[in-house]
């Protein structure tokens, strides 16, 4: 699921990949408007499946962090108002779901974006964060045979 959810630099919110055009992607906003528009190769586009959070040991895929937030919040949106939260509040929140995150390389803006994205996904019932794990594990098993 996270493979088709995109972040586009300079545009707020998240987008769903609808189709691939000639030299562009057709994306749709993840909200009630469902507005479609082309995203071009000049836009910085990244799939949520390709994002990871820094920890002291390694990078943790975003899907695992989102899954941990979902477990902490009981599948509901976060109670923390990321817009008004202080740096300490944001780091305390992230520390609950990813205890060993790298405080030197993870900035408060990163935590705000993480909470914003999580809330968008939950509000739009896009909550299967384990799907990519299952597909990857299945592919590996098939490759071994």
What pLDDT does residue 131 have? Answer: 58
What pLDDT does residue 23 have? Answer: 87
Query: Same structural domain for residues 121 and 70?
Result: yes
Domain-embedded: residue 138: no
Any residues with CB less than 8 A from the CB of 111 and at least 6 apart, and which?
82, 90, 91, 93, 94
Domain-embedded: residue 141: no
What would the pLDDT profile of 41-61 be if each residue is shown by its tens digit?
889 999 999 999 999 999 999
Domain-embedded: residue 144: no
Q: How many domains does the chain contain in total?
A: 2
What would the pLDDT profile of 62-72 be if each residue is shown by its tens digit?
999 999 999 99
HSE toward the beta carbon, residue 102, CA cutoff 13 A: 12
The dihedrals phi and psi of 66, each to the nearest 5 degrees, come to -60, -40
CATH (domain of 126): 1.10.10.1650
- The helices-and-strands tally (H runs, E runs) of the chain is 4, 7
CATH (domain of 21): 2.30.30.730
Query: Same structural domain for residues 85 and 26?
Result: no
- The domain of 36 spans 2-48
Domain-embedded: residue 101: yes
Segment 135-141 shows an average pLDDT of 43
Query: Same structural domain for residues 44 and 59?
Result: no
Domain-embedded: residue 115: yes
């Amino acid at each position: 699921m996270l493979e088709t959810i995109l972040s586009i630099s300079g545009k707020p919110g998240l987008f769903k990949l609808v189709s691939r055009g000639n030299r562009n992607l057709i994306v749709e906003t993840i909200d009630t408007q469902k507005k479609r528009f082309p995203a071009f190769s000049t836009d910085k586009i990244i799939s949520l499946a390709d994002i990871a959070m820094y920890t002291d040991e390694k990078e943790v895929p975003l899907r695992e962090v989102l899954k941990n937030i979902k477990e902490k919040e009981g599948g509901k949106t976060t109670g923390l108002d990321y817009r008004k939260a202080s740096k300490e509040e944001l780091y305390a929140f992230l520390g609950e779901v990813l205890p060993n995150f790298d405080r030197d390389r993870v900035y408060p803006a990163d935590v705000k974006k993480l909470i914003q994205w999580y809330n968008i996904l939950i509000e739009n019932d896009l909550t299967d964060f384990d799907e990519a794990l299952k597909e990857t594990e299945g592919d590996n098993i098939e490759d071994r045979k």
